[in-house]
Amino acid sequence: MTKPTAMKNLTVYEIDTLSEIYNLTDGHAFRPWSPAEETIIEGAANLFRQYNRQMQAQIEREYVRDFLTLGKQTIEMEEIGYLMCFTASMAFEIIANYLRMNELSLCLIEPCFDNLADIYKRHDLQMDPFEDAYLDAPVDQFTDYLQGISADVICLVTPNNPTGTVLSEANTRALVQFCKDHNKLLILDNCFRGYMPRDTVFDQYQIVLDAGIDCMMIEDTGKTWPTVEVKAPFFSITKARGLFDSIYDIYTDFLLHISPFGIKLVHEFIKLSMEDEMAYIHDLTRTNRNALYKNLEGTFLTPVEKDFASMVWLRIENGMSGFEVKEMLDEAGIFVLPGDYFYWSDKSLGRNYIRVALSRDPDLFSIAATQIGKVCRQVERMPVLFGG
């Protein structure tokens, strides 16, 4: 079993556990391919031969259209620019450069995955937290909360990682209106939209376009489709007021283009999901969530997340810290993330949480879930240490 090094950030711990069988740390999609997905992989060599950068513009345009169609979003090539990138984190690095160069302050969702906050911190941005619980609060409470935001930019993750909380449609409209009234830039990270129940997905893009605000939206694939880190993320930037041109100037310092083969491969996975309306992906996540919930019944780990996301956010009810629970699970060969690093303004707020990733082989996950329940029950039989 790998002995993880001291944690500097969550990604370091994820890297240290890459070789582990029961690695439930990262939110990337590592699961078996379906028979239809196997067929895509078997044909990958043909994609490599058929597509090259002379077709780049067409490849990107067709891909973005299908990706956003699957996500039930408006496609408007004239009013929104779409920039492909290697990772969603690269998109945020480009955005952070723009915010620093324009001396803009930021209100950032909390909790969130720590690399997002770290990217912004590295650019010395003034930052205030935006409380996750308000994303789906009643619209009057949400609107009242917005009045306390003085930052120039609001950056939210919806569905949020790690809680799965979604910025509701009513609150999206209220937020967009607030940004319009107060001339604020809006950034929406939509990387986990694919896991939302289909009947709850709404058109964020049209809401933004109708208001005419400055907005950037980040879209990703690695969290949803098992393409062994071959990704085709992109970010969407409104054009009306010159924002796209400013971002594009920075973007071209980072890359020329991403692999046309990579885009076409991911595109094939997306077309497959269009055929079944994401059913295969949702069913697998549901199966693993149910297995974990069943094994946690009556233990000190309580789910406090939305029950559709590709991770489970667990509150620790017996006074142990997330790091202590993580270390006990490490010893059992099960690897999860502690909650403290998700709280970038005050790590103590996440002390009593852990996160478990679900996008894994159901057979292996069932074994891991059973082991997590077993460890919890062993802990509960230790009254001297834990007050039972």
- The terminus-to-terminus CA distance of the chain in angstroms comes to 30
Per-residue pLDDT tens listing for the chain (388 residues): 444 445 678 999 899 999 999 999 999 999 989 999 999 999 999 999 998 888 999 999 999 999 999 999 999 999 999 999 999 999 999 999 999 999 999 999 999 999 999 999 999 999 999 999 999 999 999 999 999 999 999 999 999 999 999 999 999 999 999 999 999 999 999 999 999 999 999 999 999 999 999 999 999 999 999 999 999 999 999 999 999 999 999 999 999 999 999 999 999 999 999 999 999 999 999 999 999 999 999 999 999 999 999 999 999 999 999 999 999 999 999 999 999 999 999 999 999 999 999 999 999 999 999 999 999 999 887 754 444 4
Give the ranges where the chain is alpha helix by DSSP (H): 10-16, 35-42, 44-50, 56-70, 88-101, 114-122, 139-146, 169-182, 204-211, 243-254, 260-276, 279-296, 322-331, 362-380, 383-386
Q: How far apart are CA 77 and CA 58, in angstroms?
A: 12
- pLDDT, residue 325, reads 97
Token pair belonging to 287: 């199966």
Token pair belonging to 334: 């099960």
Q: How far apart are CA 150 and CA 25, in angstroms?
A: 35
Burial 347-359 (b: 16+ CB within 10 A, else e): eebbbbbbbbbbb
Q: Which domains does the chain have, with CATH numbers?
A: 10-30+278-386 (3.90.1150.10), 47-275 (3.40.640.10)
pTM value?
A: 0.95
Token pair belonging to 379: 């802990």
Residue that has been written with the tokens 């120039």 in this structure: 152
| 280: region left, alpha or beta (phi > 0 left; psi from -120 to 50 alpha) | alpha
- pLDDT, residue 52, reads 87
Cβ neighbours of residue 194 under 8 Å, at least 6 residues apart?
70, 71, 223, 224, 273, 278, 281
